[in-house]
Amino acid sequence: MGEDLFENEKVLAFDLETTGISTRNDQIVQMALVGSLSDGTTVNYEKIVNPQRPIPYEASRIHGIHDRDVRGQPSFAAYADELAEFIEGAILVGHNVRKFDYAMLEREYLRIGRLCPKPKAIIDTLELVRRLKLPRPHNLGALSRKHGIRLEAAHTAAADAAATLLLFWRLSVEHAPAFRRSLPELERWIVHGVGPKDVSELGRSLDDLEPVDTLGKIRRDGEHFVVAFGRHKGEHVGNVHLNDPAYMNWLLSPNGIECEATRQTLREHLSIR
């Protein structure tokens, strides 16, 4: 990987342990950031969080955090400011971080009435290994073993974050040609891949339309919004809403569009149609 890509950037691996796997209903019990600030200062940030609810046995069996461990610990709100300072403008690295860890973080900030901090880019190593078409399995433990990374204390936030960061660097070296892109191009390639330019209904390339979210999944076409990925690529969201409401419901969920602000913009747009 060209070192210039991350020169003078804040690069942080991010991992959470939670009460469960629902990004809508479950909550954080442990969080970690491992990496460095733009000036090279090392970051090793790990906190236990009181979810203010019982931790299910099934979750505790995986990450080893029980109700007794969080008793007396601060709730998420106590960490919101310092966490936002780390994440805002960072290159956030994680394994399934886009659809799980960051989506979970967005929900936690919404619970306390705040907007989630915005990283400069999200580099998801699960998306990356799939884009590189590496053989399965794609879980962090298997990938760490394959690339000679010691994952001690697996399923603790700090250990998983550190392993993910090492995995990312190994992949960037082993597949260096794929990383010869600008940061926005790299993130877009990991998520969408590379293909011929797709043309919208109006005959213009989607790349000519202004992106609404950071990944360019939704683009603005005058007063309209255009879907720029998936089976309805190139269609106005109004048409998708009318012709495929089930897909639109998915699109307006964190699994479809990760950015809550973009989802809200589309809800408001559709409500006035």
For each of the domains in the chain, give its residue range(s) and CATH number, in order of start: 3-190 (3.30.420.10), 198-271 (no CATH)
Q: Please give the share of the chain, as a percent, with pLDDT higher than 70.
A: 92
Contact in structure between 32 and 46 (CB atoms under 8 Å):
yes
Q: Round to whole Å and give the CA distance between 66 and 48.
A: 11
Between residues 222 and 99, the one the model is more confident about = 99
pLDDT band at residue 153 under the 50/70/90 scheme: low
In this predicted structure, the answer to whether residue 230 has a pLDDT above a threshold of 90 is no
- In angstroms, the CA 238 to CA 76 distance is 37
pLDDT at 168: 95
> Among residues of the chain, what percentage have pLDDT more than 90?
67
pLDDT at res. 162:
94
pLDDT at 214: 84
Closest CA to 9 of 34, 36, 43, 32: 36
How far is 216 from 192, CA to CA, in rounded Å?
10
CB 188 within 8 A of CB 200: no
β-pair partners for 13:
34, 93
Nearest Cα neighbor of 272 from 244, 229, 245, 237 is 237
Copy the structure tokens of residue 131: 């884009």
Reduced to 3 states, what is the DSSP secondary structure of residue 153? coil
> Band of the pLDDT at 3, cuts 50, 70, 90?
low
DSSP letter for 203, please: S
| Average pLDDT of the residues in 66-79 | 97
The mean per-residue pLDDT over the stretch 244-259 comes to 90
pLDDT for 78 equals 98
Name the pTM for this structure: 0.72
In single-letter form, the type of residue at position 90 comes to: A
The amino acid at residue 169 is W
**pLDDT value at position 1?**
44
Paired sense of beta strands 91-94 and 121-124, if any: parallel
**pLDDT, position 4:** 66
Mean pLDDT of the residues in the chain: 89
